[in-house]
Copies of this chain bind each other. A is one copy, B any other.
Amino acid sequence: MKILIIGGHGTIGKKVVARLSQNHQVIIGGRASGDLTVDITSSSSILAMFEKTGKIDSIICTAGTGYYGPFYGMTEDHIMPGINGKLLGQINLVLLGKDYLNPEGSITLTTGIAAVHPARNGAAVAMINGAINSFVLAASQELKNDQRINAVSPGLVEDSKDRYGAFFPGYNLVPMEKLVNAYILSVEGSVNGKILKVYS
């Protein structure tokens, strides 16, 4: 398969790339590095990327973050970058990318545990994750030509323990291999319209 992964240099993305590269042709899209550079907050940048990839069999997005910060003091200005990036960016990857996807191809987005178990300070991220989860449910009913779409919803991944662990008291650490498996299941399996929760 010819697979495009946006965010393939990130903490999660690079592990997914390592696994998929064993059996597939992997093209990495990234903001600053990668085979192709892309700014997912810009629909024209996304479209330019797909013009370069041509037809592909799978689109994966592990890119995009949201705002973590105190609820008292949170404003629209804190929230908008995540809406333009992880939310609209992933939606545009679907709306624009489906036209470059081969029949039986798949799209795999990334959400997170905050959609259902938000941590303190995580209201903006919860909102984005919940939005993408529901969008995936709807999009899976709409895609033609046996194309599929799923979301992988990670908990706190073990590789992020040092950096983020203190913000998620009581959250189980997710083994990275288990998380990578969810992306493999979405790409190589037959699941469609699933929120693949990888929480423990």
Contact = CB atoms under 8 A, between A and B. Distances in A.
Interface string A73-96: 011100100010001100110010
A138 B134 contact: no
A71 B128 contact: no
A144 B120 CA distance: 13
A141 interface: yes
Give the contact-size bracket for chain A.
35 or more
A20 B141 CA distance: 39
B95 A118 contact: no
Contacts of A143: 71
Interface in A123-174: 123, 126-135, 137-139, 141-144
Contacts of A134: 114-116, 118, 126-127, 129-131, 133
Interface in A39-92: 43, 71-72, 74-76, 79, 83, 87-88, 91-92
8 closest cross-chain pairs (CB), A and B = A130-B134, A131-B131, A71-B142, A118-B138, A123-B138, A126-B138, A127-B135, A126-B134
Interface of A: 43, 71-72, 74-76, 79, 83, 87-88, 91-92, 95, 114-116, 118, 120, 122-123, 126-135, 137-139, 141-144
